[in-house]
């Protein structure tokens, strides 16, 4: 494979700097591309380009914005293999999952095109109040101006489109900073949008270290909003630095699944394997904690272990591969040390637990104490802790005993129990008869507690990315 040169995109120009960075395939360190690290100068130029493009975006009709997004959707499908290979190369994702990510990302852009058409205000019944007689009121949603989008490594393409698509639909200009490890698909999206008629400067992609590029963007006076997906630590820092800017934060989790005694295990076992081990658990809603009713504990565990052992570990480009590497050797070492900590605290390793370079075997721990990091922090690796319980309320309590709250799942055939769980679990979303890892891209998505604030999904993101403006008149 050749090692491509990938300059960043500022104001419609392709820009390189003297500071080069090699992007490597995480699985084995093979170099796949060269990118360039921005200094504050390139970040400021990108914001200036976005400031210049913002009025052009604002004046564009909804239909013109939707048309650009629809063309980008078509182009993404036409370049599916190139995008999938970029995703697989930059984050080490098995190619089957990378292709699925491209399909989802294209859908996200298509949903955004639809939202460009739908974005509307309302007529306000001013005369419902005694002081409003003879008056009319209406609201419109106006673009914010320049939006800084900062994205993580694990879904480098789809999580970028969740920011770029709605921002364009709502008539904003964007400066996008992808994760340093995974800038390739973001740069391809800049090319796609420029070929699809997006005005120069409306989408700028700046590559470089989070500390410098991120801080410069977050503190820049011309940036109106920061939309961030990533870790809790960086999210809190952004919140603290952003001042009066609007901020949405999509952060981490340690998602839980409840399996009631009447759960359909034929459905739950295969879904649990997908929910726990897709992209080696590097998914913010990856199943990390399973609470299984004590009456079905042994049957579930034996079926879950058997299904997990069938997963194939290998090179990400091999279409047969289910499990490939984590993003870095350092991350794999961290996950390995958390497994060891749980083991020393009394957890039993039912399967997996071993590391080879950056790859960790799919791992199931049993009965780990709640205080170990594999339970109470975000593992972000292929590790699941299974614990048994006796009553549903006790299971719900343990699900809620977490600093995070992104999504949860419950399998039961009993409607009353299902809705009790849905009502009492404190997360942004609860799935009944589905794993917490379930997401389709039009649904509202986001967390409570340390998992963040604000919602994504194009219909919800366009609201976050616009200002509601009221106009009244007296007849
Ligand atoms: P991360 O380390 O927080 O990085 C995310 C992004 O923030 C990267 O682009 C990073 O740039 C940038 N960044 C670093 N320091 C910054 C700063 N001071 N100011 C502004 N930006 C800065 O997260 P990650 O390791 O890439 O991703 C994994 C995390 O994302 C997990 O916690 C996961 O749960 C979370 N996540 C959440 C969701 C969700 O929707 N809730 C979805 C996916 C992932 P560099 O790469 O250059 O450091």
Residue appearing with tokens 């410069």: 216
Phi, psi at 325, each rounded to 5°: -85, 165
Contact (CB, 8 A) for 359 and 323: yes
State which of 161, 179, 450 you would mutate to test the pocket of ligand 1, scoring each by most atoms of that ligand within 8 A of its C-beta: 179
356 and 260 assigned to the same domain: yes
Task: Tell me the catalytic residues.
Answer: 250, 284
- Of the candidates 471, 418, 14, 149, the residue with the CA atom closest to the CA atom of residue 5: 14
What is residue 363's predicted lDDT score, i.e. its pLDDT? Answer: 98
Q: Would you call 330 helix, strand, or coil by DSSP?
A: helix
What is residue 267's predicted lDDT score, i.e. its pLDDT? Answer: 98
**What is the Cα–Cα distance from 217 to 322, expressed in whole angstroms?**
37
> 3-state DSSP helix/strand/coil percent for the chain, to nearest 5?
40, 25, 35
Residue appearing with tokens 């500071």: 19
- Indicate yes or no: pTM above 0.85: yes
- CA of 456, closest atom in ligand 1: 40
Long-range contacts of 343-350 (CB under 8 A, 24+ apart): 345/369, 345/371, 345/372, 347/372, 347/374, 347/385, 350/301, 350/305, 350/386
- CA of 285, closest atom in ligand 1: 34
State which of 153, 162, 212, 234 you would mutate to test the pocket of ligand 1, scoring each by most atoms of that ligand within 8 A of its C-beta: 234
User: Crossing angle, helix 80-91 and helix 95-118, to 10 degrees?
Assistant: 120
Distance 89 CA to ligand 1 centre (A): 19
Residue 402 domain flag:
yes
Distance 229 CA to ligand 1 centre (A): 6
340 and 311 assigned to the same domain: yes
What string of DSSP letters covers 368-431? --TTSHHHHS---SSEEEEEEESSHHHHHHHHHSSSEESEEEEE-S-HHHHHHHHHH--SSEEE
The total of structural domains in the chain comes to 2
239 and 346 assigned to the same domain: no
pLDDT tens sequence across 68-107: 999 999 999 999 999 999 999 999 999 999 999 999 999 9
Non-local (6+) Cβ contacts of 59 within 8 A are none
218 and 103 assigned to the same domain: yes
User: How far does CA 266 lie from the centroid of its chain?
Assistant: 29
What is residue 281's predicted lDDT score, i.e. its pLDDT? Answer: 98
Residue appearing with tokens 């790859």: 359
235 and 212 assigned to the same domain: yes
211 and 342 assigned to the same domain: no
274 and 246 assigned to the same domain: no
Distance 221 CA to ligand 1 centre (A): 22
Distance (Å) of CA 382 to CA 311, 351, 353, 359, 425: 12, 11, 9, 9, 24
What is residue 1's predicted lDDT score, i.e. its pLDDT? Answer: 40
> Domain holding 43: CATH number?
3.40.605.10
184 and 226 assigned to the same domain: yes
Q: Which domain holds residue 186?
A: 4-251+451-474
Residues with CB under 6 A from ligand 1: 150-155, 159, 177-180, 209-211, 214-215, 218, 229-231, 234, 237-238, 250-253, 284, 378, 380, 406, 447, 452
Distance 153 CA to ligand 1 centre (A): 7
Which residue CA neighbors atom 23 of ligand 1 most closely? 230
Residue 123 domain flag:
yes
126 and 72 assigned to the same domain: yes
Residue 446 domain flag:
no
Non-local (6+) Cβ contacts of 335 within 8 A are 326, 355, 360, 379, 380, 381, 382, 383
199 and 277 assigned to the same domain: no
Residue 151 domain flag:
yes
Which residue CA neighbors atom 14 of ligand 1 most closely? 210
247 and 260 assigned to the same domain: no
Half-sphere CA count of 301, side-chain side, radius 13 A: 22
Residue 326 domain flag:
yes
Non-local (6+) Cβ contacts of 377 within 8 A are 254, 338
Q: Would you call 356 helix, strand, or coil by DSSP?
A: strand
- The residue length of the chain stands at 475
**What is the Cα–Cα distance from 475 to 452, expressed in whole angstroms?**
44
Residues with pLDDT less than 50, the chain: 1-2
State which of 231, 332, 449 you would mutate to test the pocket of ligand 1, scoring each by most atoms of that ligand within 8 A of its C-beta: 231
End-to-end CA distance of the chain: 69
Which residue CA neighbors atom 15 of ligand 1 most closely? 210
H-helix or E-strand containing 5? strand 4-6
Q: Would you call 65 helix, strand, or coil by DSSP?
A: helix
What is residue 3's predicted lDDT score, i.e. its pLDDT? Answer: 63
> Domain holding 327: CATH number?
3.40.309.10
Phi, psi at 232, each rounded to 5°: -60, -45
Phi, psi at 358, each rounded to 5°: -95, 5
Contact (CB, 8 A) for 404 and 373: no
- CA of 155, closest atom in ligand 1: 43
Distance 419 CA to ligand 1 centre (A): 33
In this structure, what token pair is assigned to residue 417? 């129990």
Can you give the C-alpha Rg of the chain in angstroms? Answer: 23
260 and 239 assigned to the same domain: no
What is residue 475's predicted lDDT score, i.e. its pLDDT? Answer: 82
* 253 secondary structure, DSSP code: -
């Amino acid at each position: 494979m050749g090692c491509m040169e990938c300059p960043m995109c500022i104001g419609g120009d392709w820009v390189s700097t003297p500071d080069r960075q090699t992007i490597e395939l995480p699985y084995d360190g093979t170099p796949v591309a060269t990118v360039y690290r921005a200094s504050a100068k390139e970040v400021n130029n990108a914001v200036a380009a976005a400031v210049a493009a913002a009025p052009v975006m604002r004046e564009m009709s909804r239909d013109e914005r939707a048309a650009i997004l629809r063309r980008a959707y078509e182009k993404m499908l036409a370049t599916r293999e190139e995008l999938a290979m970029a995703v697989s190369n930059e984050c080490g994702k098995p190619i089957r999952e990378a292709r699925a990510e491209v399909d989802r990302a294209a859908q996200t852009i298509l949903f955004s095109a639809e939202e460009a058409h739908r974005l509307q205000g309302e007529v306000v019944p001013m005369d419902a109040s005694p002081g409003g007689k003879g008056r009319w009121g209406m609201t419109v949603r106006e673009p914010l101006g320049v939006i800084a989008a900062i994205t993580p490594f694990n879904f480098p393409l789809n999580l970028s489109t969740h920011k770029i698509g709605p921002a364009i639909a709502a008539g904003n200009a964007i400066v996008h900073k992808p994760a340093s490890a995974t800038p390739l698909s973001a740069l391809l999206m800049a090319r796609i949008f420029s070929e699809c008629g997006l005005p120069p400067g409306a989408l700028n992609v700046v590559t470089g270290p989070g500390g410098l590029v991120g801080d410069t963007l977050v503190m820049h006076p011309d940036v109106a909003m920061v939309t961030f997906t990533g870790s809790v630590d960086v999210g809190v820092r952004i919140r603290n630095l952003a001042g009066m800017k609007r901020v949405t934060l999509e952060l981490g989790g340690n998602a839980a699944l409840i399996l009631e005694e009447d759960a359909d295990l034929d459905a739950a076992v295969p879904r649990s394997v997908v929910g726990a081990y897709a992209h080696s658990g590097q998914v913010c809603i990856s199943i990390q904690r399973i609470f299984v009713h004590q009456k079905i504990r042994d049957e579930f565990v034996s079926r879950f272990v058997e299904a997990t052992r069938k997963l194939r570990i290998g090179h990400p480009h091999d279409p047969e591969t289910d499990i490939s590497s984590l993003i870095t050797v350092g991350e794999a070492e961290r996950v390995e040390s958390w497994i060891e900590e749980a083991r020393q605290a009394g957890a039993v390793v039912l399967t997996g637990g071993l590391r080879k370079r950056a790859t960790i075997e799919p791992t199931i721990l049993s009965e780990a104490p709640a205080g170990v990091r594999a339970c109470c922090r975000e593992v972000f690796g292929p590790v699941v802790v299974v614990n048994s319980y006796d009553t549903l309320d006790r299971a719900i309590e343990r699900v809620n005993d977490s600093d995070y709250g992104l999504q949860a799942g419950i399998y039961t055939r009993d409607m009353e129990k299902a809705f009790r769980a849905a009502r009492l679990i404190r997360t942004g979303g609860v799935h009944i008869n589905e794993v917490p890892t379930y997401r389709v891209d039009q649904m509202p998505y986001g967390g409570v507690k340390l998992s963040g604030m604000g919602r994504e999904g194009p219909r919800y993101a366009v609201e976050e990315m616009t200002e509601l403006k009221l106009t009244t008149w007296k007849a």
